[in-house]
Each structure stands twice: as C-alpha cells, then as structure tokens.
Amino acid sequence: MTPTHHPKEEKLLEYFSGSLDEGMRLVVAAHLEMCPSCRRLLAGLEIAGGTYLDGLPAAPLGEHALERVLSRLDESEVSQPAPRAQAANDLPVQIRALAPHQLGRWRWIGPGVYWRSVTLSQQGPMRVFLLKAAPGTQLPQHTHDGTELTVILQGAFRHEGGRFGAGDCDDADDTVEHRPAVEEGEECICLVAMEGNIRLRGFLGRLIQPLVRL
C-alpha cells in the first residue's frame, strides 16, 4: 500500500536542499523509504533543477579558477565510500535511515504503550523517539507548541485528520489537537520527531510527559 499522507511541501523541499535539522530529516527519510510518490517528486525536482541549472547563462569565473581548483584536487582527496551502517536493531520494519542511530530499550509508559529513545548525533531542541501501541489503544490527547512529525512504520491509527497507515506521515502543526486511536489488528509503531513542549492530558499523559521531555 502506498502512503496517502505526505510531509508538507516545505518540509520536502527543506529535506532536498539539506536545510532540515537532523531529527526532522530522519523522519522524512523514513517516509521516503516507504513512499514512492515522494521519492518520485524529489527525483523529478532534482532533474528539473538540473535542467534549470543547465539553462542559466554562464557567469564566467576568475581567470585562474580552473587551475586553482585543479591544484586543490589532491588536498581534498579523502572521500572513501563510507560503509553503510548495518541495520542492527530489532524493529520489525527495517528503516535504513535509522541504522546509524542508537535506539534505547522499549520502556513501558502505560497500558499497551511503549516508548523508545532514538539518539541523534547532536542534541538540540528536536527529540526523536519511537512509540509502540497495542491494537485498540487510545493514545493520550495532546497539543504542542512546536512542530511534530510522525511516520507510521507499522500498524495504523486514526484521528480527526484521517487514517494513518504504514508509511503515512502525520505532519501536524501547533494548532491541531489530536487524540489518535490505534486500529485493531497489528500493534502500531511510529517514529516521531518533536520540537517544543508537548502538553498531555490524562493518565497516559502524565506517564509519557517526563519521557518525551528527556
């Protein structure tokens, strides 16, 4: 099944141009692995960008620019194909983008709900974690004052914004108040990037709060 919910255009473009922070980047990359439509869009934009570049009128460089660059080729002789990190985690769905990241252990945070940390190379305002919920679980209602990006790796949930199944991306903004309910059937596993403070309600909320604030 191909995903029907995609990241917002700005996010895809920021991903493309390398301006997304590491956390968001990771979630968008996970979505791309599962979404042929977004891969096609980005590949298409890359080609179109190339055509645009080819068509620009040349702006001549300084007189000895080529010589200067040629003389610098050896000093920059470093890049070896970096060995692709092995996907060595125990997730039922293998996401290549996750492979270089260290995952914590699943921690119980409430009936049917588990949480797991994803370590980023730099600590910043963005946190990334995995969430696992048993079929039929009602996840805590929450709002937040930053951005949140979720990709569903397995299973499905529903909320006011629709049904979100494997590969779908829930690109929520700060005005949304969601109360996701996990569908019956498979357990639901999500990868979440979250910035800003989350405000959770109820019993699960109180349990999850200290963890997502880590």
Partner 1 sequence: MPDESAIATHDHASLIVAVAKNRDRIAFAELFNHFAPRIKAFLLRGGTPAELAEELAQEAMLIVWRKAYLFDPAGASASGWVFRIAQNLRIDAARRAQRADRIATEFAVEPAEVDAPEAVVDAVQLEEKVRSAMAQLSPEQLKVITLSFFESRPHAEIAAILKLPLGTVKSRIRLAFLRLRALLDEVA
Q: Pick between residue 153 and residue 208 the one whose CB is nearest to Zn ion.
A: 153
Sign of the dihedral through C-alpha 82, 84, 89, 94: positive
Q: Cβ closer to Zn ion: 35 or 182? A: 35
The residue ranges that bind partner 1 (CB under 8 A) are 6, 9, 13, 16-19, 32-33, 36-37, 39-62, 65-66, 68-70, 72-73, 76-79, 81
Q: Is 6 in the site for Zn ion (CB under 5 A)?
A: yes
Least distance (Å) between residue 3 CB and Zn ion:
5
By beta-carbon proximity to partner 1, the closer residue of 70 and 119 is 70
| Size, binding site for Zn ion by CB under 5 A | 3
Q: Which residue is listed with tokens 């979250």?
A: 194
Task: Output the CA angle 182-194-24, nearest 5 degrees.
Answer: 105
Task: Work out how close the CB of 93 gets to partner 1 at its nearest, in angstroms, rounded to a whole number.
Answer: 16
Give 42 or 211: the residue with its C-beta nearer to partner 1.
42
Dihedral class, residue 136 (left if φ above 0, else alpha if ψ from -120 to 50, else beta): left
Binding site for Zn ion (CB under 5 A): 6, 35, 38
